[in-house]
């Protein structure tokens, strides 16, 4: 059986541009994540961020893997800070759902891949903090363009990956060219996590979990899902996640 990978979705408010009236709120999942999972041999299920408390536990019970997708800022209250003026829009339902889901995913040892916001969510869920806004809070360096305006499939900055890391093993390279669509980033790393890739200006671009358990948790700051066509090596992240989910499903079946 192919492993079931839960992919988090977002909420969007649609507006009728002509009549300028709200059309309602919709659950939206970027097809690129879902196709990335399918290509890797997994079965994606979209997880709507509308669940009541308690549902996240049931949902986690049905997953072999969890993919935390990109999106809006995580509310800084989850790491004990008040919002600064440079914070962008947050979606309370999504933040609450993903943080609860992470708690149950961690408890169950479900392999987690975090992409962009997803890497930030997993760091906070494990006890870390974020830069609410890189350009106003990360001092002393010249920031690269982490918020590109070119198409999403185009790389915009380089990333240096630590040798011996899972990310270098998965990608088969220590030098990557990646896209960049973020104004937040990992600040204080959660215990258990290791930063394994940096952009030349020192921003954390990938993290992975290392402890004595075989827990598979990996986050990348770039949108790997959008680079699958232009730079196929980024598909390997999805493959590694699906393989970890397969191993987890086998362990679960044997238990």
In whole angstroms, the minimum distance from the beta carbon of 156 to Mn ion comes to 8
- Contact map string, positions 112 to 131, toward Mn ion, x by CB under 5 A: --------------------
Quick one: 11 or 204, whose CB is closer to Mn ion? 204
- Contact map string, positions 180 to 209, toward Mn ion, x by CB under 5 A: x-----------------------------
Pairing of strands 204-209, 157-161: unpaired
Q: Of 13-21, 132-140, 175-183, 212-220, which part binds Mn ion (CB under 5 A)?
A: 175-183
Residue 166 interacts with Mn ion (CB under 5 A): yes or no: no
223 is catalytic: yes
Percent helix, strand, coil in the chain, to 5, is 35, 25, 40
Q: Of 31-39, 73-81, 92-100, 142-150, which part binds Mn ion (CB under 5 A)?
A: 142-150
- DSSP-derived secondary structure letter, 178: E
Q: Are 183 and 72 in contact (CB under 8 A)?
A: no
208 is catalytic: no
Q: Are 224 and 234 in contact (CB under 8 A)?
A: yes
Measured distance CA(198)–CA(221) in Å, rounded = 10
Measured distance CA(247)–CA(241) in Å, rounded = 10
What is the secondary structure of 190-245 as a DSSP string? PTTEEEEEE-TT--EEEEEE-SSS---EEEESS-GGGGTTTSGGGHHHHHHHHHHH
- Binding residue for Mn ion (CB under 5 A) from 75, 146, 183, 234? 146
Active-site residue (options: 116, 183, 241, 243)? 116
Residue 168 interacts with Mn ion (CB under 5 A): yes or no: no
225 is catalytic: yes
Q: Of 115-123, 176-184, 186-194, 210-218, which part binds Mn ion (CB under 5 A)?
A: 176-184
Chain contacts with Mn ion (rule: CB under 5 A) = 146, 180
């Amino acid at each position: 059986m192919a492993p079931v990978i839960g992919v988090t979705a977002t909420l969007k408010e649609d507006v009728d541009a002509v009549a300028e009236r709200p059309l309602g709120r919709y659950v939206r999942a970027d097809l690129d994540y879902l196709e990335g999972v399918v290509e890797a041999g997994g079965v994606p299920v979209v997880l709507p961020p509308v669940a009541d408390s308690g549902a996240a536990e049931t949902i986690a019970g049905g997953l072999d893997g969890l993919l935390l997708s990109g999106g809006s800022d995580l509310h800084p209250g989850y790491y004990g800070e008040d919002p600064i003026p440079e914070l962008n829009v947050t979606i309370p339902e999504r933040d609450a759902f993903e943080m609860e889901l992470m708690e149950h995913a961690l408890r169950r040892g479900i392999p987690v891949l975090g992409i962009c916001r997803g890497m930030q969510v997993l760091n906070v869920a494990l006890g870390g903090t974020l830069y609410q806004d890189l350009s106003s809070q990360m001092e002393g360096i010249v920031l690269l363009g982490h918020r590109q305006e070119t198409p999403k499939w185009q790389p915009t900055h380089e990333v240096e990956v630590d040798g011996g890391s899972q990310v270098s093993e998965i990608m088969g390279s220590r030098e990557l060219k990646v896209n960049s669509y973020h104004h937040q980033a990992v600040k204080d790393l959660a215990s258990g996590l290791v930063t394994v890739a940096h952009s030349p200006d020192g921003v954390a671009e990938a993290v992975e979990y290392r402890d004595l358990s075989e827990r598979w948790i990996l986050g990348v700051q770039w949108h790997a899902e959008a680079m699958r066509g232009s730079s196929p090596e980024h598909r390997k992240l999805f493959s590694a996640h699906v393989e970890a989910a397969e191993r987890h499903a086998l362990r679960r079946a044997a238990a």
